Amino acid sequence: MISKRWIMPLKVASALTLAIVIALAFGWNKPYWAAFAVIVMAATETNGHSLKKGRLRLLGTCAGVVIAFILVSLFGQQPLTFLVVYSIIIAICIYQQSNPKNGYAWTMGLMVSCVIIVMGKMTSEQTFTIAALRLQETILGVLCFSFVFSIFSPVSSRITLLNTLKNNAETKLDKIEQAINSLQENNTLSKNVSWGDGLKYLARIDDLLQAAKSDSYQVSSEFTVWDSIR
């Protein structure tokens, strides 16, 4: 029986090995891009968070590829126009990075477009080669991670969500009892009774709901009902 403390490292190592071996078998030049995708997705709390991050990473990578193609094809021979247009795109991406739902996709779009433009050296052929390689490596990393983490001891976002709701309900009941006892004994509400940070709790529930929507069919199919718990 494998100890729980070893399960996560073994899953990450398995996904990394699988991604790198497949990339090398296909003869791709930069297998570490697939490894990066695995590592980034592994640095999350549950499977739902990982799948959400993987989806946003793919979306951002595709957006970065499109941005690089458009800029190089239209403004490859016009440095000043290229800088002006790309500066506007950078400003928009940086502004959207703070979006809690899809900010990571904007970050990836900016990073990928920059990598492709720099490594592509502003030439159409080289840009296409780098873009295709980046896209296929990212897809490979996401697929390898999803395969390994969905099969071997997955951590359900739905269970984490239910546990969070249960713990919050128990905490609130305890505080209500404290408040009632304080009012009965002293006819005043004790200063020790704190109701916590409601905004942090709501943000936590929203995060878990979005994650559970990604890895739980029950939550996804009845999301309107689940969303009403906030």
Which tens digits make up the pLDDT trace of 124-167?
889 999 999 999 999 999 999 988 888 877 777 778 888 888 88
What band does 66 get if pLDDT is binned at 50, 70 and 90? very high
DSSP string, the chain: ---HHHHHHHHHHHHHHHHHHHHHHTT-S-THHHHHHHHHHHSSSSHHHHHHHHHHHHHHHHHHHHHHHHHHHHHTT-HHHHHHHHHHHHHHHHHHTT-TTTHHHHHHHHHHHHHHHHHHTT-HHHHHHHHHHHHHHHHHHHHHHHHHHHHSS---HHHHHHHHHHHHHHHHHHHHHHHHHHHHHHSS--TT-----HHHHHHHHHHHHHHHHHH-HHHHHTHHHHHTT-
Q: Are residues 31 and 143 in the same domain?
A: yes
Q: Are residues 103 and 203 in the same domain?
A: no
Decide which of 159 and 102 is more confident: 102
Q: Are residues 74 and 145 in the same domain?
A: yes
Q: Are residues 44 and 133 in the same domain?
A: yes
Report the pLDDT averaged over residues 70-90.
93
Backbone angles phi, psi at 29, to 5 degrees: -75, -25
Q: What is the pLDDT of residue 4?
A: 65
Q: What total number of domains does the chain contain?
A: 2
pLDDT > 90 fraction of the chain, expressed in percent and rounded: 40
Count the Cβ atoms, other than its own, within 10 Å of residue 17: 14
Q: Are residues 209 and 181 in the same domain?
A: yes
Q: Are residues 165 and 142 in the same domain?
A: no
- Show the domain range for 146: 4-151
How far is it, in rounded angstroms, from Cα 73 to Cα 109?
A: 18
Residues 6+ apart with CB under 8 A from 170: none
Backbone angles phi, psi at 148, to 5 degrees: -70, -45
Of 123, 151, 179, the domain-final residue: 151
How far is it, in rounded angstroms, from Cα 17 to Cα 84?
A: 42
Whether 88 shows a pLDDT value over 90: the answer reads: yes
Of 84, 117, 151, the domain-final residue: 151
Compute and round to an integer the Cα radius of gyration of the chain: 23
Q: Are residues 218 and 121 in the same domain?
A: no
The two structure tokens encoding residue 198 = 């409601």
Of 151, 174, 191, the domain-final residue: 151
Q: Are residues 190 and 216 in the same domain?
A: yes
Q: Are residues 198 and 84 in the same domain?
A: no
Q: Are residues 162 and 144 in the same domain?
A: no
CB 56 within 8 A of CB 104: yes
Q: Are residues 119 and 173 in the same domain?
A: no
